[in-house]
Structure 1
Amino acid sequence: MIRYTVAGSSRRSALGVSRRVGTIKYITTITTTPKRFISSKPNEVFTKLTNDNDPKRDAFFKYTWGSWLKNDKQQKEKRFTKFSIEGLNRILNDVYIQSNEMAKAPDGKILPPVFNKNLTVSLVNNVIPKNIGKINPNEKVQVTTLSSIHEGKHHRIYKVDTNLNKAFILRIPYPLENENALSYRIRSEVATMDFADLKLGIKVPKIFCYGVNSLNPIRQPFVLQQFIEGDLLMKDWDPLMEDGSSNQEKFDNVIKQVSDFQSKLISLKLNAFGSIYFNNDFKDGHDKEFVRENIYDGETNPDLQNRWKIGPSVERCLWRHKSHLDFQKQMEPLLGPWSKKSPMDIIKNTGLLEAENAKTRLAKKEAGSSPELVCSRTLEEQVTTYENLAKIAPDLFNVKTKAIPNMQELLSPRLFHPDLDPMNIIVNKEAQEAYLLDFEGACAKPFILQNSPQFIAYDGPKIYDLKEDITDYDKLSEAEKAQYQFMYKRTRNQHQWEKKLNDNNPQLITAVAPPVKLLRSPYIAAVERKTEEEYLLIDESLLQLKEVWDIFAQNDLVNQKKFPLTYSKEDIERHVEDLQKLHEKLISTPFAATQGWIPQDMFDQLLKSGSIVKQENGDYTVKQPEPTK
């Protein structure tokens, strides 16, 4: 029997085994702090352990960390992560058996991944008794507590306690994309973490086993990995700290920790652009000559030779919202890998893929075979924008220029981590070691195309000294001073990040020079686009480049003397009008930045106070304040 409880809209869930044979206890409690333990004991209900289809159990797998103003029910259904607990037990027992076998392996030997008959893959090099734990002879591994500790953007994280006296992490991706996307994403992330661990010396959680589809015993794509006890580095990050405050040491340490991770990630030049996979992941296809080569030069350890290879890029922008495309015909040819001799092909293919996606969506919408909510004009404009990005890609950078120091270093393939962030780093207090947790979407691309991490990035007005840069600063109102102080602190934070980059990697510092940032800005806008209308930000970057193109051409920064794109006066006027409407929408639409998602605690408070109101169709609207007379 399983004993479980569900307490309303939970922010924390757990499942634990009682002393009765074959019983597991689900516990669901409400808490808003990111702690890794249960803070209270709610009521309990019993159900059979072997009955994976018991509907009472479903509440444990439901998404609970937020609600959406529109399509809330559908959004939560997309994030339902039901899996087989019995299957998880079988996987843990298989891993334990492999750990006993690994105890007999020669010390120091790095073994290749094992592809198991149950359609999982084990990283047997990590599956050692030290990491897995030990139980009494003839005893079987048993889950003792299963806790839902994080419901993120792309996956749900469960903490698994066992009678091995060891805890594990079970990551279940949300089924937001098709099986191909999930399969490539998981295979590449696991291989990249393996590469970061064994080759780059980066502290990452050890991965023990994974499955790329629902045909394994867990019945979901999954990653089973080491649990790291500690606090997120974000706990020490105060971006609006006053200069010289008591938090200065913590502030400096956060910058240092994240920068040190970046320095290790980019320390090794690779031989192609794309994403990292295990060598035996691709038995067919991807037979380009540069892919058959070693992914980096100079490896002397025979155990690491031919362990990894570069395959299609899993950068999120290339896979996001591509369910309308035929994978083999429309997507795969544009996903890479790309030769290190053709770095700008990454930008070109990004544009071509997005243009193809918009064309396909538009055709299906016009044929009445798609429930597209976005208007046809937006899709038409997206096609034009992305075709322009693809067209300008070969000319954005003069790859042979001498005007940018160390250009060839900046163009070399280096590992890029899209979530280099204090929220993605956990510090183990006992060992005083920082671990980089989530490598989803990591890829190899030129450092000149790698933007600053989101927690530090700032593209607003730069203010380095409030009194020197702002005329009559002391005479401003408190509200005006606060605005300038915000700009100053954001400028300071980015400056500190770039200073640390220069300390660690001076040969790459010109990647943050203003002209270089402007040249890559259309590509960065495409990579970071979140909404349908944000194609306008790509257009804005292209138009800004148009204004300075002649100067860049004179300084040998770009390939063409003449700006490669043509904009009519009407095009520019329409763009200005559309961009203004977008800014007005963002300002006037509550929670536009999160696409209508609201943290559950806040949502409950707003609903209770009447600030948001449920409509007959199930959507919610934000009640506008009464106009003042």
Structure 2
Amino acid sequence: MVSMIRTIRSRLLFQKPVRSFVTSRVRFTQDNKPSAGDDHFTTIDSSSEDERDQFYRYTWGSWLKNDKAEKDKRYTPFSVGGINEIVRQFRNQKDTVAPSSVVSIASLSEGKHHRIYLINMDDGKQYILRIPYPLDLSWEARRARMQSEVATMDFMRKKWGLLIPEVVSWHPTGDNPIEREFIMMEYIAPEGNRTMANLMSRWDPMAGSVASRAPVLRVVIDLMERILATRFNGYGSLYYTADVDSALQDKLPYDGEENPEFVDRWRLGPTVESCFWQNGIDHVGSTDRGPWYTPQDYLAAVARAHIMAYRTLLSDPMVGTSELGLYLPTWLDTYDKYAYIAPRLIPDVPADSDLLSPRLCHPDMDPTNILVDVGSLTGGGIENPYSSPYLLDWEGSSIKPYFLHGAPKFVNYNGYKIYKKEEVESYDLLPEQQRRQVDYMIAATANQFSFEFLVKHTFPTLINAFSPHVKALRDPYRVATASDYKYHPLEIVDLRDSLIKAQQAQLPELKDLDAKGVFTEQEIEQHDQITVEWDKIIQSSPFYSTKGWVPQDMYEQLVNSGELVKDAKGNYVRPGAD
């Protein structure tokens, strides 16, 4: 009889290897004043707009597929001269009499969704200018996301005292002196005895002991404690009152506010989660974005948004005849099943349970998004976290049922749990690559467990969101909101797999399903066959988990060494790949 460990080892290590990932790094300069030889800064009064072209272009990485198109989506030209007017406007509002001018602008970070610039003033002041990439979003989508983000930051700073860079000026459309939507905020720099650094510089998911990684987790938990403190009255996203429809302005976002300054300051409005603003349905009124007042309505709306997006895509003649068009009927069929099942994927608890309560969900609760004073950690223990944590980027924050939040991505682990290498039969005899996979699984298991341990002791009424049963209910939602047809049309296999597993687990919430939500034995057999094909595609696709994005230095090294070669379509693949 084959042992359970041998079976698990065969499935996970040989057939479906752990998908590798690359963590993007935030770059910080030691001296914020750019040198004359730095080609990533510009002065306010030298160089023409044409000469600054490279200054606006994305340079931190390359894509193996459609590289030019991806970089064009991240091209962020703006009127450099207009920054002086923006600064003059907000300083005049504060009755600042001392005149000041911008002397230089440095490119500080090229993130996933934004370009970050450092503004240097002649009086020594510094500001951060953040400009969103156009990507595939309409101007309406970008406007809503910025309106909600600024209001959410304001709410967390004023209501709960969270350390967030102060927004000094912002505009959600391009109708302003720099001719682009933007957020300008204070620059968080070392002052006095502070030693500010990105928290990711202190996080290695596999290094050291669990105890040595605990301070980073403690910082995240402390931030979550205030983010989750408010129980809202519905699901959606937070806005300033003036930015939501008049029909929503009479509805309080949460109960019990006693501060008269806050009572009419914020309101619930449409969600800004990315799955509700997909290409094809990214205009106001194109789909139901809430707010909603039951978890069932929210889950049903998620499914409808996807279905509408795929139907819109399929109606495009150019898409209909492409490889994606051939697979879109499968996407629609799968999301139709998900739409039927989704409202049932709710824990059987009272309606007022904390598990179902509307709580603010930060989508980027990651060490790369947090600045801390690294000079404050003394004992290295769980009760001595780094101090003064600043949570920087809040785009895409939404209010949704807590049981759907899940763990932050940097500790979220959905694979098989292994607590020590002794659990794996003949670990020392495994090939090196497979031992590394086991080591990763052990570390990932420990990190997830440590996070849940801290949740249990900090939020005792919320820990059931991490029970095996609730995780099984949440998993189809997790996959449904993450599936991306743009990178590979076979990615729908992951959602079908999640739905089939939920069916086979015989979850009590899914009992008595009719044919609309059930996969037949024939469909399951076909799914198993195509899963093998999908696993081979993943295994042969370099940088699959980053959707083909490669850090620029690594990209150049791989191309120069011949480990990546250009195919007939102009994309980069491994030598010998079809």
| TM-score, normalised via structure 2 length | 0.85
User: What's the counterpart of residue 306 of structure 1?
Assistant: 264
- 1:414/1:372 Cα in 2 relative to 1: closer, same or farther (>3 Å)? farther
Shift of residue 485, structure 1, vs aligned partner: 2.7
Could you report, residue by residue, the CA deviation over 1:356-391 in whole angstroms, capped at 9, with x for unpaired residues?
1111111113xx4x5874432311111111121111
Query: Equivalent residue of 1:414, what SS?
Result: strand
Q: Does the CA-based 8 Å contact 2:235-2:291 persist in structure 1?
A: yes
Change (3 A) 1:76 1:314: same
Matched-pair contact (CA < 8 Å) for 2:237–2:397 = yes
Cα separation, 2, equivalents of 1:83 and 1:568:
55
Per-residue Cα deviation, 1:449-480 (whole angstroms, up to 9, x for no partner): 1111110011111122433x344656766665
Which of 138, 143, 165 does residue 178 from structure 1 map onto?
138
Q: Between 603-612 and 60-69, report the one with greater CA deviation.
A: 603-612
> Aligned runs of 1:568-579 on 2, under 5 Å?
568-579=520-531
Q: Distance in 1 between matches of 2:341 and 2:54?
A: 50
TM superposition shift of 1:259 = 1.0
Alignment of 1:515-554 (within 5 A): 515-530=469-484, 531=487, 532-549=489-506, 552-553=507-508
In 2: Cα distance, 1:260 partner to 1:372 partner: 51
Kindly tell me: are residues 610 and 464 of structure 1, through their superposed partners in 2, closer, same or farther at Cα, counting changes over 3 Å?
closer
Check 1:63–1:398 CA distance in 2 against 1; reply closer, same or farther (3 A cut): closer
CA shift in 2, pair 1:53/1:446, >3 Å: same
Partners of 1:609 and 1:470 lie apart in 2 by 36
Q: Does 1:76 align with 2:88?
A: no
What CA deviation, in whole Å up to 9, does each residue of 1:537-556 have, x standing for no partner?
1111111111122xx32xxx
1:383 to 1:451, Cα distance in 2 relative to 1, 3 A: same
Secondary structure of the residue aligned to 1:276 is: strand
Secondary structure class of the residue paired with 2:262 = coil
Counterparts of 1:49-198 in structure 2, within 5 Å, are: 54-100=49-95, 140-176=99-135, 177-198=137-158
Three-state SS of the structure 1 residue aligned to 2:120 is strand
Alpha carbons of 1:170 and 1:414: their partners in 2 closer, same or farther (altered >3 Å)? same
Deviation at 1:58, TM superposition (A): 1.0
Q: 2:418 aligns with which of 463, 476, 483?
A: 463
Distance 1:43 1:465 in 2: 48
| Cα 1:179–1:567 shift into 2, 3 Å | same
Aligned twin of 2:453: 499
Equivalent residue runs for 1:14-29 within 5 Å: none
For residues 250-302 of structure 1, the C-alpha deviation after alignment (integer angstroms, 9 at most, x for no partner) is x1110100111112111110111000000011254xx26xx632111111111
Shift of 1:486: 2.2
Structure 2: how far apart are the matches of 1:94 and 1:43? 30
**Contact 1:398/1:559 (CA < 8 Å) preserved in 2?**
no
Q: CA 1:52–1:319 in structure 2 vs 1: closer, same or farther (change >3 Å)?
A: farther
Pairing partner for 2:355 from 403, 406, 410: 410
Question: Which of 561, 574, 577 is the equivalent residue of 1:609?
Answer: 561
Contact residue 490 and residue 534 of structure 2 kept, 8 A: yes
Q: Aligned partners of 2:521, 2:360: CA distance in 1, in Å?
A: 41
Amino acid at match of 1:274: G
Sort the Cα spacing of 1:318 and 1:372 in 2 relative to 1 into closer, same or farther, 3 A.
farther
Mark the runs of 5 or more structure 1 residues left unpaired by the alignment.
1-30, 101-133
Where does structure 2 lack aligned partners over 5 or more consecutive residues? Answer: 1-24, 190-195, 377-386
Please identify, of 62-71 and 571-580, the stretch whose mean Cα deviation from structure 2 is larger.
571-580
Percent of aligned pairs with the same residue? 34
Going from structure 1 to structure 2, the CA distance change for 1:574 and 1:609 (only over 3 Å counts) comes to same
Q: Whose RCO is larger (CA < 8 A, sep 6+)?
A: 2
- Secondary structure of 2:51's match? helix
Contact kept? 1:96, 1:141, Cα under 8 Å: no
Matched to 2:563, the amino acid is: S
2:22 maps to none
What is residue 225 of structure 1 aligned with on the other side? Answer: 185
Larger displacement relative to structure 2 (530-539 or 303-312): 530-539
How does 1:123-522 map onto structure 2 within 5 Å? 140-176=99-135, 177-229=137-189, 230-243=196-209, 248-249=211-212, 251-284=213-246, 287=247, 292-320=250-278, 322=279, 324-325=280-281, 327-331=283-287, 334-339=288-293, 342-365=294-317, 368=318, 370=319, 373-400=322-349, 408-428=353-373, 432-467=387-422, 469-471=423-425, 481-522=435-476
- In structure 2, distance between residues paired with 1:48 and 1:415: 40
Seen in structure 2, the aligned counterparts of structure 1 residues 384 and 46 have a Cα distance that, compared at 3 Å, is closer
Q: Give TM-score scaled by structure 1 length.
A: 0.79
CA offsets per residue over residues 107-141 of structure 1, 9 Å max, x none?
xxxxxxxxxxxxxxxxxxxxxxxxxxx6xx5x532
Amino acid at match of 2:495: I
User: Matched residue pairs, number?
Assistant: 531
- Distance in 2 (CA, whole Å) between partners of 1:460 and 1:389 is 22
CA deviation string 1:369-419 (max 9, x = no partner): x58744323111111111211111222225546xxxx97111110000010
Counterpart for residue 4 of structure 1: none
Deviation, structure 1 residue 202: 1.3
SS in structure 2 of the partner of residue 574 of structure 1:
helix
* Cα 1:372–1:313 shift into 2, 3 Å: farther
Aligned Cα root-mean-square deviation (Å): 2.8
What amino acid is the match of 1:292? D
Larger Rg: 1
Question: What is the distance in 2 between the residues matched to 1:375 and 1:159?
Answer: 40
Q: Measure, in 2, the Cα distance between the counterparts of 1:153 and 1:190.
A: 18
* SS at structure 1 position matched to 2:389: strand
